[in-house]
Amino acid sequence: MKATTFNLIISCIFFSFQGISQGVISFGAGNDTDIIVTASSSQGNSTPDKIVNGDGLDAEKMAAARFLTQAGFGMKMQDVEQVINIGYESWINQEFAKPLSLYDDQVEEIWSTVYQMRLDAGIEPDMIFGPLSEHFNYGWWQNVITSDDQLRHRMAFSLSQILVVSGKSDLDNYARAMSSYYDVLYKNAFGNYYDLLLEATLHPAMGYYLSHLNNEKSNPESLMRADENYAREIMQLFTIGLHQLNQDGTVKMTSDGFPLPTYNIEDIRELAKVFTGLGPGAVDPFYPHVDLHFGLGFWGVEKHTPMAMYNEHHDQSTKHLIEGKTLPAGQDGMKDVEDAVMHLFNHPNVGPFVARQLIQRLVKSNPTPGYISRVASAFNNNGEGVRGDLKAVIKAILLDSEARSCEALEDPNNGKLREPITRYAQLAKTFELVSPFGRYWDPSAGHLEWTGQMALNAPSVFNFYEPDFQPAGELTQAYLVAPEFKIHNTKTAIGYINMINAATIWDTFIRSWELDYGDEVVRMNTSDYEAKADDIERVLNDLDILLSYGQIEDWYRDEIRTACNEQLWGDLNKNKVRMAIYAIMISPYYTIQK
């Protein structure tokens, strides 16, 4: 994960002032009238006069673009300038205040349109099935591309990789369950982690995915035991992990050098009792004659209503949880659930456990113990005595010196491989898209096939990659983790290049196969850059800021410049711009986020 930092060294500058009697010369401020600037050496476009006129001094823009890369899916130059004008924390506060753009609303509108389109095409109503997971994908892209509240969207996507449900299951047939669940993540992205955890626990999509919907209490006579799936995953993956942690994320060890476990199999069995008796909260309005009852199949469950407690199916015995917590016998089942979730939420592991994974999703794969500790401290106490405040966590992550310092650009141990879906989303946010129907309905089969990633489509509850994944080779030898490399292989590496090639060179960003879409595609509009492509250096300067915040080395910039200037057919300026975007986005200067 190596990047190069450029240092401009000027050995000697000679000024010849003509027609100036008195005054102060401010470097980099545009004060170059009647001033001749020479230097003992210069190269290419790095002419000495730029020291005085300020042309090309883009460090502030590069830093702001780096911040926006961590905080969203992509930015335009005006977004970079806004961050510079108001400051990082003020920008975050503005994001906190923006109105919601719910995913379920998008999916509902999309399915209504698709359903009518199919009716208009002569398809019988009984033969129209949906909405399916591809329609959730439509809604996800529509929201990400058109909505302004990028920090909330990015945070929701990050949380979706911790509190995992996936369409790679029978949920594939229930887009509204997926979109409703994603809205739980989206709405709580700036809320409290306890509220998020409890809502996720009670959501029917989670109940169906991890099998605690209609979870019957144990019956020794019939050799039936309560399902333990959710009890295991809420501890292992959603809250405390496998080993006891210090606040800085390091593992606590026994006296003989073994990691201290957080729970054992008996703890799972006891917690499983808590999640018995949860059943459907309402009946799907599509089935008006179906009675609401425990055991109703997921097909008949209303997908937006939290699961309800059926106490006659709930284990009424005493529950002995981790850390000596006891839930009394005969307590109301929903009170058991709330108390158990609160107990896990208050475990000292949760702060560092969640902090590390959110840092990995937003900033870097290998945060230092100090960084984890600072973010965990914000989780434990937002400064006003509140635990689990995700607004405080977000600020602690994005404003930390380890995220903002330029030293990270020089450290080969810093950085992360950008997730494939965030790379493609940046194209959509950085360059205006043109749609023949005003829609951005990407079915995303290509994303899953060629890059191995799409929102809410992880192969298992363990996400697309584990936080401790180490690819074979130098990173493992350096004791570094690199989660995203789990899905980076010979197929997905080429698949990503092909997708960027299709979007930039072949001008096909999204191709949808809905009935009235035909062969029409969504395309990128790069006309602003094409207008100044006669001076390709200006284009490269802007792209280097927006896509790689100044990381491109001189040798690769020379290669891009040569490739752009060798365009000999068609719309030359358009071809130059597209070649530049393509070359940057497939390079390590872009794909490795520093």
Looking at the fold, whether 190 and 155 belong to one and the same domain comes out as: yes
- Looking at the domain assignment, is residue 205 inside a domain? yes
- Looking at the domain assignment, is residue 247 inside a domain? no
Looking at the fold, whether 208 and 88 belong to one and the same domain comes out as: no
Q: How many domains does the chain have?
A: 2
- Looking at the domain assignment, is residue 225 inside a domain? yes
List, for residues 283-338, the tens digit of each pLDDT value.
999 999 999 999 999 999 999 999 999 999 999 999 999 999 999 999 999 999 99
Looking at the fold, whether 124 and 213 belong to one and the same domain comes out as: yes
Q: Which residues constitute the domain of residue 91? A: 13-97
Write down the residue that tokens 């099935």 correspond to: 129
Nearest to 507 by CA among 434, 426, 590: 434
- Looking at the domain assignment, is residue 499 inside a domain? no
Looking at the fold, whether 298 and 338 belong to one and the same domain comes out as: yes
Per-residue pLDDT at 222:
78
Q: Where a domain ends, among 62, 97, 132?
A: 97
Q: Are 294 and 321 within 8 A, CB to CB?
A: no
Per-residue pLDDT at 12:
31
Cα separation of 337 and 207, whole Å? 13
- Looking at the domain assignment, is residue 452 inside a domain? no
Looking at the fold, whether 326 and 195 belong to one and the same domain comes out as: yes
| Low-confidence residues in the chain, pLDDT < 50 | 2-30
- Looking at the domain assignment, is residue 110 inside a domain? yes
Looking at the fold, whether 107 and 93 belong to one and the same domain comes out as: no
502 CB-contact burial (10 Å; exposed 0-12 / middle 13-18 / buried 19+): middle
Torsion of CA 445, 449, 450, 453, to 10 degrees: 80
Looking at the fold, whether 157 and 51 belong to one and the same domain comes out as: no
- Looking at the domain assignment, is residue 530 inside a domain? no
Looking at the fold, whether 200 and 302 belong to one and the same domain comes out as: yes
Looking at the fold, whether 92 and 67 belong to one and the same domain comes out as: yes
List, for residues 324-376, the tens digit of each pLDDT value.
999 999 999 999 999 999 999 999 999 999 999 999 999 999 999 999 999 99
Per-residue pLDDT at 1:
53
Per-residue pLDDT at 49:
64
Looking at the fold, whether 189 and 159 belong to one and the same domain comes out as: yes
Q: Where a domain ends, among 328, 345, 362?
A: 345
Looking at the fold, whether 132 and 221 belong to one and the same domain comes out as: yes
Looking at the fold, whether 128 and 87 belong to one and the same domain comes out as: no
pTM for the model: 0.91
Q: Where a domain ends, among 309, 327, 345?
A: 345
- Looking at the domain assignment, is residue 486 inside a domain? no
Q: Are 326 and 343 within 8 A, CB to CB?
A: no
Radius of gyration of the chain (CA): 27
HEC profile of 406-442: HHHHCCCCCCEECCHHHHHHHHHHHCEEECCCCCCCC
